[in-house]
Structure 1
């Protein structure tokens, strides 16, 4: 399965019995890392509204 949304690529494959998800962001690497490592950023997009 391959899906493209808002310029970002998302791929899902099954390899050796494992589901492998890959997503390419069109953003600077430092910004993507920051959103994964700083709670205030992660809470904004990780779960549904009100999740944080």
Structure 2
């Protein structure tokens, strides 16, 4: 998440806007887990690069 935060800051977002992006991302992950009834799986490097693209 730290890298995602720093990426958003580099895009020109304020710290609050970057935090809101992280919160939104976490909410999406939690919602997906609840909907699919699955446990959290740490993304691999390949999945992280797809998510940031």
Please indicate, yes or no, whether the TM-score normalized by the shorter chain is above 0.5: no
By relative contact order (CA 8 Å, sep 6+), the higher-ranking structure is 2
Higher strand share: 1
Q: Rg larger in 1 or in 2?
A: 1
